[in-house]
């Protein structure tokens, strides 16, 4: 198992470097888009190649970072039964999901894309738009993204088995713990937002916080202000009225 865990760590490092690196392509795509818009408006010059370059950059960031997103357990889930189960049951769901759904789908896509990309390269396939770019680099990004996802899927399966056997700690234990229903609430921040006020319909909890301006203003409040040596309040609010 030690050799497999070493392989898993290597895959994780590679996909981490790639995923973090390609995230900068989003900024490049924004700069290309801005430059294209300025040139088009000022000099009335543009090209479909600039538009397609933006699509290439965004597609590269999305596809090449998919494996890194799986590594970080950040893919969107539609949770029906997962969150309320014990952690060991969640491990089994993840493992079976990788083995029965993720890996067969990724293998199928790689198998179909290899001849598809080969035909595009041999034919010199180009965009149908005037002045557009060649298409095989975009198709190569699709294949590369699924290859990276394939190796990351293997890494996740190895780590999942190791976690279930107690060989390594669970890398996503804390995130899953919160997702399972235990939400940590900062009471101070809650009070500052005003949502902890008795005046707010979301709660009937009364928190006397200096920044909670929505709490009820009562006769006791007025008595404390006048009896503490401070200047009496000049406004007249009805009992229980909200503080402005």
Contact call for residues 133 and 183 (beta carbons, < 8 A): no
pLDDT at 55 over 60: yes
Q: What is the mean pLDDT of residues 2-14?
A: 91
* Domain range list for the chain: 2-179, 186-244
Q: What angle do CA 7, 13, 17 make, to 5 degrees?
A: 150
Q: Which of 51, 23, 24, 49 is nearest to 37 (CA)?
A: 51
Quick one: pLDDT at residue 183?
A: 45
| CA gap 26, 63 in Å, rounded | 12
| CA gap 97, 13 in Å, rounded | 23
Exposed e or buried b for every residue in 211-243, given b needs 16+ CB within 10 A? ebeebbbeeeebeeeeeeeeeeeeeebeeeeee
Q: What is the pTM of this model?
A: 0.68
pLDDT band at 24 (very low <50, low <70, confident <90, very high): very high
pLDDT over 90, % of the chain: 45
| CA gap 238, 18 in Å, rounded | 63
pLDDT band at 82 (very low <50, low <70, confident <90, very high): confident
Report CA 35 to chain centroid distance, whole Å.
28
Q: Which of 135, 153, 65, 142 is nearest to 110 (CA)?
A: 142
**Which stretches does DSSP call E strand in 4-118?**
none
pLDDT at 120 over 50: yes
State the average pLDDT for the chain. 80
Contact call for residues 70 and 156 (beta carbons, < 8 A): yes
Weakest-pLDDT range from 23-27, 112-116, 228-232: 228-232
27-41, 188-202, 230-244: which is most confident: 27-41
92-101: per-residue pLDDT in tens? 989 999 999 9
| CA gap 240, 70 in Å, rounded | 53
| CA gap 62, 75 in Å, rounded | 12
């Amino acid at each position: 198992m030690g050799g497999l865990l070493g392989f898993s760590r290597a895959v994780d490092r590679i996909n981490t470097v790639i995923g973090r690196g390609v995230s900068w392509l989003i900024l490049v795509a924004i700069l290309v888009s801005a430059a294209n818009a300025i040139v088009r408006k000022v000099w009335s010059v543009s090209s479909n190649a600039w538009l397609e370059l933006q699509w290439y950059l965004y597609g590269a960031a999305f596809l090449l970072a998919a494996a890194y997103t799986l590594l970080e357990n950040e893919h969107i889930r539609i949770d029906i039964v997962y969150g309320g189960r014990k952690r060991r049951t969640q491990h089994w769901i993840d493992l079976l999901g990788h083995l029965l759904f993720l890996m067969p789908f990724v293998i199928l896509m790689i198998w179909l894309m290899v001849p598809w990309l080969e035909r595009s390269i041999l034919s010199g396939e180009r965009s149908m738009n005037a002045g557009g770019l060649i298409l095989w680099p975009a198709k190569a990004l699709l294949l590369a993204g699924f290859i990276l996802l394939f190796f990351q899927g293997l890494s996740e399966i190895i780590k999942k088995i190791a976690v279930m056997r107690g060989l390594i700690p669970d890398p996503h234990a804390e995130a899953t713990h919160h997702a399972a229903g235990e939400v940590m609430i900062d009471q101070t921040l809650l009070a500052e937002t005003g949502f902890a006020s008795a005046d707010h319909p979301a709660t009937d909890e009364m928190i006397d916080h200096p920044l909670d301006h929505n709490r009820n203003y009562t006769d006791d409040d007025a008595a404390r202000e006048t009896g503490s040596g401070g200047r009496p309040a000049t406004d007249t609010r009805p009992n229980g009225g909200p503080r402005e």
